[in-house]
A and B are shown apart, each in its own frame.
Chain A
Amino acid sequence: MHELSVTQSVLEIALRHAERAGARRITRLNLVIGELASIVDDSVQFYWDFVSRDTIAAGATLHFERVPGTLRCLACSHTFPLNGRDYACPVCGEKRVIAAGGDDFRLESIEVE
């Protein structure tokens, strides 16, 4: 739902870093999006073509690295992927677990010319 404003933020950050690097053109953006960040790649891609038009980032490729949501068992420390049904540890069955990763949402790097 809010991917338009998010995509505009991605563009602003990329343009700022490209300018600092003295770039003429941005060819690729490497984004890291965690499963818990509620961001849909397809929507970002859809808005990207629109918001980047007439900027030095026009036509740049968006590369999404998805980071799966993970949980860690408080009993045996086993780390396992998030699933939507139950959060119990698949190794020891412990029900006390904590979230251990997957809320990343950042622009890792850009490639420029």
Chain B
Amino acid sequence: MAIQVPVVEQILSANDQLAAANRARLDAAGVFALNVMASPGAGKTSLIMRTVERLRAEFRIGAVDGDIATTIDADRIASLGVPTVQINTGGACHLDAVMLQSALPRLPLEELDLLVVENVGNLVCPASFKLGVHRDVLIASVPEGDDKPYKYPVMYRGVDALVLNKMDVLAAFDFDVDYFRRGVEALNPGLAFFPLSCKTREGLEVWLSWLREQMRI
């Protein structure tokens, strides 16, 4: 005779617990951590590099770079002279709390103010796995198209800020910024929004001001 046992447990609770442990580790070291997510080619590494270039005089910055393979992105970020740890996920489509946990001991956390984590390029899976960082940021880019909030709603729902990169090429694409923003607002009302260009640096200062402000809170 079968008996029903109530469980009511979130499937990803194990990851969530590890994420909480990461957060405690970061807080103990006084490090503010940022998780940067986007599809491949949206400009994750570019935004991180522009951010490091502008803020490294103010803050001690470190980076964690997640990629399925290669150290191309980590090498680019490390070239700016900040401690950088590469995580090769070996095929996994996202970073999770375990991977970040294993990367933290390889960084001089006590000597950092800001840790930037570059997630694997993917608009689906990273949304489901909390890392334990303080803010999650999504980068969209003009060439991807204005329908992405409608097609990848989960990713847009869970973030604290949205950067729209490659604004310098807006005129060349049929990208309706109003349509894009309506989708975003439905999923994540009041989301901080930063249209900018990593190439021309236009709009970058507004993003940097937001980041400084978040680090103070």
Q: How far is the CA of A23 from the CA of B127 in the complex (A)?
A: 35
Residues of B contacting A21 with CB < 8 Å? Answer: 3, 5
Query: Is A96 an interface position by the 8 A CB rule?
Result: yes
Cβ distance A85 to chain B, nearest Cβ, rounded Å: 7
B11 touches A98 (CB 8 A): no
Known interface pairs A1-B125, A109-B8. Does A12 touch B2 (Cβ–Cβ under 8 Å)? no
- The number of residues on chain B lying at the interface, defined by a beta carbon within 8 Å of a beta carbon of chain A, is 36
Chain A interface mostly helix, strand, loop or mixed?
mixed
Residue-wise interface mask of A (101-113) relative to B, using a CB-CB cutoff of 8 A (1 in contact, 0 not): 0010111111111
A13 and B154 form a contact (CB under 8 A): no
Is the C-beta of B28 less than 8 angstroms from some C-beta in chain A?
no
Contact partner, A113, options B3, B92, B183, Cβ 8 Å = B3
Q: What total of chain A residues lie within 8 Å of the partner, measured CB to CB?
A: 41
Q: Which of A1-57 contact B (CB under 8 A)?
A: 1-2, 5-6, 9-10, 12-14, 17-18, 21, 23, 27-28, 31, 36-38
Given A69-B153, A99-B153: A112 and B125 interface contact (C-beta under 8 Å): no
Residues of chain B from 19 to 43 with CB closer than 8 A to chain A in the complex: none
Quick one: which of A87, A109, A110, A113 contacts B150, CB cutoff 8 A?
A: A87
**With A17-B7, A97-B186, A109-B8 as contacts: A36 and B154 at CB distance below 8 Å:** yes
Tell me, yes or no, whether A95 is within 8 Å of chain B by CB.
Answer: yes
Q: Which residues of A contact B (CB under 8 A)?
A: 1-2, 5-6, 9-10, 12-14, 17-18, 21, 23, 27-28, 31, 36-38, 69, 71, 82, 84-87, 95-99, 103, 105-113
